[in-house]
Chain A
Amino acid sequence: AQTVTQSQPEMSVQEAETVTLSCTYDTSESNYYLFWYKQPPSRQMILVIRQEAYKQQNATENRFSVNFQKAAKSFSLKISDSQLGDTAMYFCAFMRGSGNTPLVFGKGTRLSVIA
Chain B
Amino acid sequence: NAGVTQTPKFRILKIGQSMTLQCTQDMNHNYMYWYRQDPGMGLKLIYYSVGAGITDKGEVPNGYNVSRSTTEDFPLRLELAAPSQTSVYFCASSYLQGLGEQYFGPGTRLTVT
Contacts and interface: CB of A to CB of B under 8 A. Distances in A.
Interface of A: 4, 33, 35, 42-45, 47, 50, 52, 91, 93, 95, 98-100, 102-108
A95 B104 contact: no
- Interface residue tally on B, bucketed by range: 20 to 34
Interface string B72-98: 000000000000000010101011101
Interface stretch (B20-28, B37-45, B63-71): B37-45
B2 to A, nearest CB: 14
A102 B48 contact: yes
Contact of B106 (A33, A43, A50): A43
Contacts of A44: 104, 106-107
Given A50-B99, A50-B101, A102-B48, A107 B94 contact: no
Contacts of A105: 35, 42-44
B104 A45 contact: yes
B42 A107 contact: yes
Nearest to B42: A105
A43 B94 contact: no
- Residue from A43, A44, A45, A102 whose CB has the most chain B CB atoms within 10 Å: A102
A52 B99 contact: yes
B98 A99 contact: yes
A78 B43 CA distance: 22
Contacts of B100: 33, 35, 50, 95, 98-100
- Residue from B92, B102, B106, B107 whose CB has the most chain A CB atoms within 10 Å: B102
Contact of B96 (A4, A100, A106): A100
A108 B42 contact: yes
Nearest to A6: B42
A115 B110 CA distance: 34
B50 interface: yes
Given A43-B106, A43-B107, A100 B98 contact: yes
Contacts of B44: 105
Given A44-B104, A100-B94, A33 B99 contact: yes
A93 B31 CA distance: 17
B22 to A, nearest CB: 17
